[in-house]
Amino acid sequence: MPIVHSASLSHRCGIPVGLKLENRQTTGSFKLRGATNAILRLAPADRARGVVAVSTGNHGRALSYAARAQNSRATICMSRLVPQNKVAEIRHLGADVRIVGCSQDEAQQEADYLVSQGLVMLPPFDHPDIIAGQGTIGLEILDEVPDVGTVIVGLSGGGLAAGIAVAVKTRRPGARIIGVTMERGAAMKASLDAGKPVQVEEFSSLADSLGGGIGLENKLTFPMCRVLLDDLVLLSESEIAAGIRHAYRQEREVVEGAGAVGIAALLANKIDALRGPVVIVLSGGNVELQLHRQVINGMNNPPGQEV
């Protein structure tokens, strides 16, 4: 996906700012990279067994697409917090959808059971092939902006941030990687503060793709984020809404809340010691259109969501 220059953000920051348009992927988010890599690296016999994952929506959609392309079958376990437009797209791709509980942790229990019945687990972030697939974004950033100073990326379970950070810092160790997430239910932030993976309560959010835990048995993304992230920024719902509006009005891009958090962090002046050139990863565009219209027209929060 291309990196496009943002005249508005470059003017605001006084340094070049580019937008990495992962919202234009076939399945609407960066997740297609990791899912495709993971499916392709499975043994044929494992692909034939079928794959299972827990998802807040975008990984499930990507895995369903990648599995179908390789004549496999995906089962996606999700909580009731996942927006219905994402559930519908996953079903459209032929996956078996299981809606379980009100958190990713509850959905994970169903996925674990299905693994015991013979399916192959391909988790959304804590897996080497998933991380490597997302890391191709970092390689592309370096190809287009070899002197990149700062990469701003949404942060949830850490697969995207970890993959990009490894790729970028291997060639440009001085580049800064900034993770951005919502204020409430920020599992990686709570885990980093605690020094170990912890559970958090999940809340509805405009950045719904950033919800969910990182897994108490997290082996890869937690230690990678702890070492490789240079800063972590938290955003309110109104700040995320401002990012969505800016993306649409100024950049002509439709992005979901999780895809807008990098822009939102700049607009809120929450990134210290900003070093250019800057690349913001617009991670996804799978937003329910009625909600998007409401945000564009001035609503800061989804129905029932308190700031």
Q: Is the pLDDT of residue 191 over 50?
A: yes
Q: Is the pLDDT of residue 106 over 60?
A: yes
Task: Classify strands 17-21 and 3-5 as parallel, antiparallel or unpaired.
Answer: antiparallel
Is 3-29+128-296's fold the same as 31-121's?
Answer: yes
pLDDT value of residue 212: 85
One of 6, 20, 29, 31 is an active-site residue; which one?
31
Pinpoint the alpha helices (H) of 148-186: 159-171
Q: What angle do CA 107, 68, 24 make, to 5 degrees?
A: 85
CA separation for the pair 292, 307 (Å, rounded): 18
CA separation for the pair 212, 210 (Å, rounded): 7
Q: pLDDT grade, residue 300 (50/70/90)?
A: low
Does the domain spanning 3-29+128-296 belong to CATH 1.10.3210.10? no
DSSP string covering 243-269: HHHHHHHTT-----HHHHHHHHHHHTT
Q: Kindly state the average pLDDT of the residues 139-165.
A: 98
Q: Is 79 a catalytic residue?
A: no
Every domain of the chain and the residues it spans = 3-29+128-296, 31-121
Helical axes 289-296 vs 237-249, angle rounded to 10°: 90
Q: Among residues of the chain, what percentage have pLDDT more than 70?
A: 97
Enter the CATH code of domain 31-121: 3.40.50.1100
- Check if the beta carbon of residue 253 is closer than 8 Å to that of residue 21: yes
Q: Which of 200, 187, 140 is nearest to 164 (CA)?
A: 140
Q: Which residue has the higher pLDDT, 104 or 38?
A: 38
Could you tell me where the beta strands, DSSP code E, fall in 170-209?
176-182
Q: Is the pLDDT of residue 26 over 80?
A: yes
Q: Is the pLDDT of residue 58 over 50?
A: yes
Q: pLDDT grade, residue 119 (50/70/90)?
A: very high
Helical axes 221-228 vs 187-194, angle rounded to 10°: 80
Number of H helices, E strands in the chain: 13, 10
pLDDT digits (tens, 9 = 90+) for 194-218: 999 999 988 889 999 998 889 999 9
The three-class DSSP label of residue 273 is coil
Q: Is 189 a catalytic residue?
A: no
- Check if the beta carbon of residue 182 is closer than 8 Å to that of residue 194: no
**pTM, entire model:** 0.91
* Mean pLDDT over the full length of the chain: 94
- Check if the beta carbon of residue 243 is closer than 8 Å to that of residue 264: yes
